[in-house]
Chains A and B, each alone.
Chain A
């Protein structure tokens, strides 16, 4: 192991080892050791790296967040939790990076479906975990993934077998209650051939803390997965959430990324597409005050006939900064690729900033690829049109801003989640702007 570490986190690592799950698994120990070595050598990603050039995470190194031991459910405010818990869903709750059986709702799951904590999965079905852990997320990619591999304390493990369609969504509710705490979690979601699943990842918290979550997703042949990510971290929190997806032939995957919270938040959504598979990536980021919200997407068309659609929208106010880096890579073999990528940013203040960088790398010659980017203010013509229809200017501005964001909210197909997220979007607009009763 490299001893010349650049990170204080690496120096502290040995003290937390005893609390990590899977101590008895040599393959996991080897994986963690390798990840630790990489992280020790590199530290957290730096803006010198191309994929991190707009986002400086050095605050995390300065803070030195510490992992917390398991908390009892009694430490969680039940009413507050209820506001984030989906009805009509199976809910797996992680508190400060540890599974809470007490707060989770897993009764009535079909027997063939496996929904457990990662710690449980490592204890009871480690062969399966071994097969998938690290198979979609490449820790060589950047050191946050390596950090996660070395530090993760728990997470969600889901396996839906062939042809099974789950009628209710599974929610992963990720809560951090501790101050200066760190919650590092690893999730694996496997949807076998022709199966269907909806997942909701919710991130919430109260204090200054660090979330570092990595989710690996495997969508089987002709299977369908919809994944909603609701990031509502506290305004003092740091958030890294990486989602790495491998799609088999004819698989369909839809991702909805709602990035509303955090002081500094970064999401990775990286998709590998096989023959004739389809993916849709939707995103909405709302930044206020000094928030920094970075969304990094990458879609690799590896085989012919795959389709990708991407739309990310940002609304940035005050001194907030939004980053969109979207890469589409079309491999030499991926003829007849059909890809569209769009990023639209609305700046509500002179001090807000949007950095957008769409990238197309095309190595095949018979493809249809389009991308578009806009950064701008509200359209004056639209404002006047609304004024001419009796609406005052401030209300018109709020109405248009809401409408811009609401397009993404309207794509949510789970009623309860739709209402929950709509509520959060509405809190961003003064009462007179948007009348909820009229929607």
Chain B
């Protein structure tokens, strides 16, 4: 699904990622953990194509294609979905308009015709129900005036409708209370499938209580310093990041 080899990324002259290697197979959930400033968000931004970063070396191959060469919207249409740490408010564009624009962009990219208006509405309403959201959400401006939990749930709704193959979740748990965290996690779990992979970028272990990862990687100083199974997350929670950071220092 995704193969990252010796990836180096800088912001301006400052190196942030210093040789990342990661192999993600279809259906796997990988957690990327690490202290603040370790480069976690940079990794998810670079994979989704956000500007302001310079790739100075290495590669990221997604389904056999050079991911880093693609414009952000092409990555999205190819099935890469970034769930934002802070979803952006877009006043004046309704949720349903954006969902339709996004879904039709994917269909066009795949050589399909525009989605039928009725089919679309049925699909969207079904997903809304599944995520226990109010239908009124659809007609409100994207994320405008939404609470932290509503914004994150909205990201999951988009994910449910666009059906990406690779979901990059950037600090999804930040700003969520325990109830919202449960709902969001259930949403993610319902989207798990043998063809869909997840990269969960997170500072804390608590999200992983609800979404069980196959692999956990610790990012520190721009490198993956330790990889392991789900147990590694618990160990990190207990001991903090100091011991892994020291191990490489």
Contacts and interface: CB of A to CB of B under 8 A. Distances in A.
Interface stretch (B84-92, B123-131, B217-225, B239-247): B84-92
Nearest to A437: B117
B178 interface: no
Contacts of A384: 50-51, 72, 88
Interface stretch (B15-23, B93-101, B185-193): B93-101
A438 B84 contact: no
**Which bucket holds chain B's interface residue count?**
20 to 34
B71 to A, nearest CB: 7
A413 B92 CA distance: 17
A328 to B, nearest CB: 25
Contacts of A48: none
Given A391-B105, A399-B101, A385 B51 contact: no
Contact of B93 (A380, A381, A393, A403): A403
B72 A388 contact: yes
Q: Does more than half of chain B's interface fall in helix, strand or loop, or is it mixed?
A: helix
A390 B93 contact: no
Interface residues of A, number: 25
Nearest to B92: A403
A166 B158 CA distance: 45
A404 B76 contact: no
B249 to A, nearest CB: 34
Given A399-B101, A438-B97, A387 B72 contact: yes
A404 B105 contact: no
A403 B90 CA distance: 8
B48 to A, nearest CB: 6
B49 interface: yes
A43 to B, nearest CB: 43
B11 to A, nearest CB: 15
Contacts of B49: 387-388
Interface centre among B49, B51, B93, B102, by most A CB within 10 Å?
Answer: B93
A25 B81 CA distance: 75
A106 to B, nearest CB: 37
Interface centre among A381, A387, A389, by most B CB within 10 Å?
Answer: A389
Interface string B64-92: 00000001110011000110100110111
B107 to A, nearest CB: 10
A3 interface: no
B162 interface: yes
B92 A390 contact: no
A387 B90 contact: no
Interface in A251-308: none
Given A404-B92, A438-B100, A385 B76 contact: no
B51 to A, nearest CB: 7
30 contacts: A381-B88, A384-B50, A384-B51, A385-B88, A386-B98, A387-B73, A388-B48, A388-B49, A388-B81, A389-B76, A389-B98, A390-B73, A390-B77, A390-B103, A390-B109, A390-B162, A391-B101, A391-B105, A392-B73, A392-B105, A393-B71, A395-B101, A400-B92, A400-B93, A402-B92, A403-B91, A403-B92, A435-B100, A438-B100, A438-B101
